[in-house]
Structure 1
Amino acid sequence: MTLRIAMWSGPRNLSTAMMRSFGNRPDTSAVDEPLYAAYLDTTGIDHPGAAEVIASQSPDPATVLRELTTGVVPTAVQYQKHMTHHVLPSTPREPLALLTHAFLIRDPERVLVSYAKVRSEPTLEDLGLPQQVELYERFGGPVVDAADVLRDPRATLTALCAALGLEFDDAMLSWPPGPREEDGVWAKHWYAGVEASTGFATESPGTRDPLPERLRPLLERCLPYYDRLAPYALRP
């Protein structure tokens, strides 16, 4: 039986690097943000390359979830990179019970600093934090903090794999640079950093950009959601 891992993350949470990490395992195939087209088609929100994204995937979430939960997978493990803000009120929840869930969280201040470089006025809805908490409370699953992944990738990924019933593989620690076949058509707008990477980069606190003051009220709204999940993060 295929292990179908749904990794739920907000944007700018190290999610694409984590997809690279799992996708570099010889037993794993990756799926990149399969609900993105449905999200854009339903909301009409203006994202870079929105029309191209909608044309590249089914915009029907029920169709997408049927494929993710029952479709043929060529590998023993399927890693599904999901953005929590793509889960709208109209997105069916029941099929998700067939997946094995995991959650990737990150300090909201670091998320906002990074995301504001792409969209200058992010909203709570852009970040998907309420949906991440909802999904955790409904389905459970291991939680990992991006800061722990960056601090000690081997130990954190070993703990995550154990929680998912997998053996850790050294291939998860590094990968060749460049694009991947599984990358969505939106990669050219968002993936420049990860395409240049060959592994998890360390983050130096001394070089961090400050949070713009205009985003501090949004940070205060984000923190309770992060604080809800942070105590459950695996500690290597």
Structure 2
Amino acid sequence: MWSGPRNISTAMMRSWENRPDTVVVDEPLYAAYLARTGIDHPGRAEVLASQPTEEAAAVAALAAPLPAGRTVHYAKHMSHHVSEEDLSWTLAFRNVLLVRDPAEVVASYVRSREACEPDDIGLLQQLRLWQFWSAHGVEPPVIDAADFLRSPEAHLRWLCAWLGIGFTDAMLSWPAGPRASDGVWAPHWYAAVLSSTGFEPWRPRQVELSAHDAAVAQACRPAYELLHARRLQP
């Protein structure tokens, strides 16, 4: 599942982790991204110490055998974490894009981190991933967060059918609180999801952005509109 930040990606991870047959991994390319770019994020040192800092090692771990009794491996990715030098490894997995209106993303993002540029919110990279997969004859499902929150069960049922696995009501709710699978960055970013017990109903949001932040959102809007037009409508 390839998302940008400040989306419903962690709630989606909770949903899949609540399946008894599923193992989840939280942003496995994060440390490699920080090491490669040198960018400063909250908890940077802790993230670098918690994961492989080479993308190849992180990717290899994604293909490791699953624990006994588990048959589904769910990876929550931030699309801007992946190096675009070689995306061929992604073709070995079933890929889904999770998008959100860029104005809403930017408004949420700047509440946790002061600086925000187009490359920070993942939409440009999501489009490049989509273009790469399309060039290889694969058109991944695109889920818009607003649509999903209006009908979580329908979307999850469609995804399960696409993957050839059974849907379970356990995907619609989960216990509140942290998980051992949460990345070490959870204290900086996961406040809302830690108190959640299910997907919040969709609601319209009033967004006010500075001139700079509005320009960031606008720079990402063409990518969003292209992906949004291809979104899943189960």
TM-score of the superposition, structure 2-length normalised?
Answer: 0.92
TM-score of the superposition, structure 1-length normalised?
Answer: 0.91
Counterpart of 2:128 (choices 109, 124, 134) is 134
Counterpart of 1:78 in structure 2 is: 73
User: CA RMSD for the aligned pairs?
Assistant: 1.4
Instruction: Give secondary structure in 1 for the equivalent of 2:95.
Output: strand
Counterpart of 2:210 in structure 1 is: 212
The answer to whether residue 112 in structure 2 is matched with residue 113 in structure 1 is no
TM-fit CA distance, 1:164: 2.5
TM-fit CA distance, 1:196: 0.4
Q: Distance in 2 between matches of 1:209 and 1:138?
A: 32
Which stretch of structure 1 is more off in the superposition, 122-131 or 192-201?
122-131
Counterpart of 1:54 (choices 30, 44, 48) is 48
Q: Distance in 2 between matches of 1:208 and 1:149?
A: 19
Which stretch of structure 1 is more off in the superposition, 35-44 or 119-128?
119-128
Counterpart of 2:172 in structure 1 is: 173
CA contact (8 A) 1:144 1:160 kept: no
TM-fit CA distance, 1:12: 0.7
Number of aligned residues: 227
Can you list the C-alpha shifts for 1:36-78, whole angstroms capped at 9, x where unaligned? 0000111111111101100100101011111213x11121100
In structure 2, what residue type is equivalent to 1:77?
Answer: V
CA contact (8 A) 2:18 2:174 kept: yes
TM-fit CA distance, 1:162: 2.1
CA contact (8 A) 1:115 1:122 kept: yes
Q: Distance in 1 between matches of 2:62 and 2:165?
A: 20
Once superposed, which parts of structure 1, at least 4 consecutive aligned residues long, lie more than 4 Å away? none
Counterpart of 1:26 (choices 1, 14, 20) is 20
Counterpart of 1:192 in structure 2 is: 191
CA contact (8 A) 1:39 1:86 kept: yes
TM-fit CA distance, 1:171: 0.6
Q: Distance in 1 between matches of 2:97 and 2:203?
A: 24
Q: Distance in 1 between matches of 2:27 and 2:210?
A: 28
Instruction: Give secondary structure in 2 for the equivalent of 1:177.
Output: coil
In structure 2, what residue type is equivalent to 1:137?
Answer: Q
Q: Which runs of 5+ in 2 are unaligned?
A: 134-138
In structure 2, what residue type is equivalent to 1:157?
Answer: L
Q: Distance in 2 between matches of 1:20 and 1:127?
A: 21
Q: Distance in 1 between matches of 2:146 and 2:123?
A: 17
Alignment of 1:216-227 (within 5 A): 216-227=214-225
In structure 2, what residue type is equivalent to 1:30?
Answer: V
The answer to whether residue 88 in structure 2 is matched with residue 88 in structure 1 is no
TM-fit CA distance, 1:88: 2.5
Q: Which runs of 5+ in 1 are unaligned?
A: 1-6
In structure 1, what residue type is equivalent to 2:83?
Answer: L
Counterpart of 2:136 in structure 1 is: none
